[in-house]
Structure 1
């Protein structure tokens, strides 16, 4: 499975790590992803979602279906 947030589409960033001597080596910054079970009271069921910590905070505040509606997504898109 890819290291990508299903809700916000955050994915790894690629860049150079630069030392004091100006040596450059490739590095990747991974997104802070978590696998969570989220309860949807409207459908009376639990779903498993792989999402970033930032998205988890927003989902906790708004609710999953309201968050998806704001982003223009459907629940089926996120779970697939």
Structure 2
């Protein structure tokens, strides 16, 4: 399963570590993904999603159904 948030679309980023002597090595910056079981009022059931903590704040603010419709996510798949 991909390390990707279904709502925000955040995925891992590749960046460089820079040492004091300016040697660069690759590193991965991974989003803070959580597996959450959220109540979907319109569907009258729970949905289990992989969501970033930033996405959780948006769901808390707007509601799961409203936020999913806004970003174009079909919750029937989850």
TM over 0.5: same fold?
yes
Distance in structure 1 (CA, Å) of the matches to 2:11 and 2:58? 18
The number of residue pairs the alignment matches comes to 78
Structure 1's consecutive aligned runs of 4 or more residues displaced over 2 angstroms after TM superposition are none
**Unpaired stretches in structure 2, ≥5 consecutive residues:** none
CA RMSD of aligned residues (A): 1.2
Deviation by residue 1:7-65 (Cα, 9 ceiling, x = unmatched): 11100010110001101100000000000010012221111000000001111111111
In the superposition, the TM-score normalised over structure 2's length comes to 0.91
- Unaligned runs of 5+ residues in structure 1 are none
Give the structure-1-normalised TM-score.
0.89
* 1:67 alignment partner in structure 2: 67
